[in-house]
Amino acid sequence: MIKTIAILSITLFFSGCIKDVKPWEKETLAKHTMQQDGINPIQKQFEEHIYFSKEASKGGNGVAGGGCGCN
């Protein structure tokens, strides 16, 4: 019983650290600087060009689906 209460208390205590970001709070996340390619998308294209020419392949470098519908 004490164990259960302790586990529940710890779980509740640490759940206070979790705060979900609401869709209307994603202004900063929507900025170009927050994109994986960084501030300059040309840099990403350049790196991909080198990567694909070295590997003699194309594709397989991303993930499909998802999207938050915000951008």
Partner 1 sequence: MKKLITSVLLLTNLYAYEKGDIISENMAAHLGCTDNKIYVIDFFASWCGSCKKEIPLISKANTQIDSSKVQIIGIDVDKDVNKGISFQNTLKAENKLNFKVINDPANLIISEFNPVGMPTLYYIKDRKVLSIITGAVDNIDEVILNDIKEMK
- Which residues contact partner 1 by CB under 8 A? 22-27, 30-31, 68-71
Non-local (6+) Cβ contacts of 37 within 8 A are 43, 44
Give ∠ CA 25-67-65 in degrees, rounded to 5. 160
User: For residues 56 and 41, what is the distance between their CA atoms, to the nearest angstrom?
Assistant: 22
Instruction: Please identify, using beta-carbon distances, which residue of 4 and 33 lies nearer to partner 1.
Output: 33
- The residue among 32 and 49 lying less far from partner 1, judged by its C-beta, is 32
Question: What is the nearest approach in angstroms of partner 1 to the Cβ of residue 52?
Answer: 28
Output 27 or 42, the one with its CB closest to partner 1: 27
